[in-house]
């Protein structure tokens, strides 16, 4: 990946940052905020952390803990709704 590519990813991250602040002003809620954050994190992971170019096992090691964390949150939430 060339410098241009990294700059493009940075530009996208800046755009999404503006978007999430606007979404907050419009009170679009937690779903939109988390979706934008997840998209930003995916961009960082895929391009800055080179996951797009890594093998299957490294990708698995990167993504699996996130799945476990989502499971943890999903299992905790119903008790407090």
Partner 1 sequence: MNAAALPPRAETLKLGMWLFLATEVMTFGGFLASYIVLRTANAASMAADAGRLDVLLATINTVILIGSSLTMALGVAAAQAGDVRGARRFLLATIVLACGFLVLKGLEYGGKFHHGIGPWTSIFFSCYFTLTGLHGVHVLAGIVLLGVLAARAPALVAERSGAFESAGLYWHFVDVVWIFLFPLLYLL
Binding site for partner 1 (CB under 8 A): 1, 3, 6-7, 9-10, 13-14, 17, 20-21, 23-24, 29-30, 33-34, 36-37, 40-41, 44-45, 47-50, 53-55, 57-58, 61-62, 64-66, 68-69, 72-73, 76-77, 79-81
Min separation Cβ 77 and partner 1, Å: 6
Tokens (6 digits) for 8 = 């493009």
Least distance from partner 1 to the Cβ atom of residue 47, Å = 8
Contact 48, 9 (CB under 8 A): yes
**DSSP string for residues in 14-31:** HHHHHHHHHHHHTT--HH
The total of other beta-carbon atoms located within 10 Å of residue 47's CB is 19
């Amino acid at each position: 990946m060339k410098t241009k590519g990294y700059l493009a990813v940075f530009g996208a991250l800046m755009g999404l940052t503006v978007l999430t602040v606007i979404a907050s002003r419009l009170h679009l809620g937690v779903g939109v905020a988390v979706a934008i954050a997840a998209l930003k994190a995916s961009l960082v992971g895929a391009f800055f952390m080179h996951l797009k170019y890594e093998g299957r096992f490294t990708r698995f090691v990167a993504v699996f803990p996130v799945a476990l964390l989502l499971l943890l949150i999903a299992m905790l939430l119903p008790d407090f709704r």
